[in-house]
Amino acid sequence: MHSLHIEDFRRDLISWYLREKRDLPWRLDQDPYKVWVSEIMLQQTRVDTVIPYFLNFTEKFPTLEALAAADEEDVLKAWEGLGYYSRVRNLQSAVKEVVSTYGGVVPNTPEEISKLKGVGPYTKGAILSIAYGVPEPAVDGNVMRVMSRILSIWEDIAKPKTRTIFEKILYEVISKEQPSEFNQALMELGAIVCTPTSPSCLICPVREHCQAFEEGVQTELPVKSKKKKPRPVSMAAAVLKDDAGNFYIHKRPSSGLLANLWEFPNCETEIELLSQKEQLVRYLHDEYEADAEMEPLSGTIQHIFSHLVWNISVYAARLKPGSIPKNLLKVTEAEMQKYAFPVSHQKIYQMTEAHK
């Protein structure tokens, strides 16, 4: 068991937070919808990255009802570049569920809110505590890092089961009077003071409560096992245009990587007798009935995902007169701006444009 003086810890932590907290756009009010949007955006994503997306998204979709009624195309466009796109498709799905089942009011119980798509253990606790003042823990990476140091816990925080250990402890430690401030304070401390590599222990408001600091092991915690290296994939992509200047783009499948985003026609390539360019020509013909003249290689692009590395050879391609592609959308350059592309395909487009 731990020897933490819980009341003093809460007081020192929360008073520091109220003193030092950053002015962030999602802290202007406690609108459950905006709290929700911010929490989804902040999953695995830095505050500085999220801020402009949050401002734009809440301007485009200011209410839960507005998001529920929006076209998915426009929703994905507002998320373009933020990554983990299933987050926003789940968010819109869940918002529709709130409108149809809960009369547009975000539920305020752990059981009901956990049923919503995209709301896992962390987001459940974050929304309930911040928007409704319910004393539920919100255990993210910051919280596990801070608490592993405070209590000198040496469990591997990369293991799913470890989160439940911290949740159990935090049900006890969380402030029942100020759960919102307590949860946000833990995360704020992790973001600003109790950082992963070089924690600023000398200015830490809860240093006197920190077991790891007392033992001098704060830089050895938390324990976190390493991830695998991403798997390399060779690809070829065609920025396909016709003589009238139209582009031909493809909508990705509704599940899996970059679901429902748009892309330039492309295929995975193998090491074989056919060159990458020839494999791409064959693919365009077989998959889309598109006959194209390929220009010389424009260049190569590397795009790194969490678990994949795309190595893409990029070609500009001219559709032969009379060839009518199937399953590709014909758009002008101006119309293309309305569709959401992953960053990898933005790079592909820019590479061919640079050669003009």
Partner DNA sequence: CACTCGTGGAT
Partner DNA sequence: TATCCAAGAGT
Q: Which residues are catalytic?
A: 39
119 near DNA, rule: CB under 7 A: yes
319, amino acid identity:
L
Contact in structure between 348 and 313 (CB atoms under 8 Å): no
10 near DNA, rule: CB under 7 A: no
Chain residues 226-245 in contact with DNA, contact rule CB under 7 A: 226-229
| Gap between the Cα atoms of 148 and 169, Å rounded | 11
339 near DNA, rule: CB under 7 A: no
| Gap between the Cα atoms of 294 and 284, Å rounded | 11
* Interface with DNA (CB under 7 A), residue from 161, 270, 271, 326: 161
83 near DNA, rule: CB under 7 A: yes
Given the rule CB under 7 A, which of 46-54, 66-74, 204-212, 280-288 is the region that contacts DNA?
46-54
Residues 6+ apart with CB under 8 A from 272: 279
User: What are the backbone dihedrals phi and psi of residue 302, each rounded to the nearest 5 degrees, phi first?
Assistant: -110, 130
DSSP summary character for residue 251: E
Provide the token pair at 221: 């915690």
* Best CA proximity match to 132, nearest among 95, 158, 107, 103: 107
145 near DNA, rule: CB under 7 A: yes
Nearest residue (CB) to DNA, 84 versus 102: 84
Would you give the binding string for DNA spanning residues 246-265, x where CB under 7 A is met?
----------xxxx------
Q: What is the dihedral of CA 294, 295, 296, 299, to 10 degrees?
A: -100
182 near DNA, rule: CB under 7 A: no
303 near DNA, rule: CB under 7 A: yes
81 near DNA, rule: CB under 7 A: yes
DSSP summary character for residue 228: P
Given the rule CB under 7 A, which of 64-72, 76-84, 293-301, 323-331 is the region that contacts DNA?
76-84
Residues that bind DNA (CB under 7 A): 24, 38-39, 42-49, 81-86, 90, 117-124, 126, 140-142, 145, 159-161, 184, 187-188, 190-191, 195-197, 224, 226-229, 256-259, 303-308, 342-344
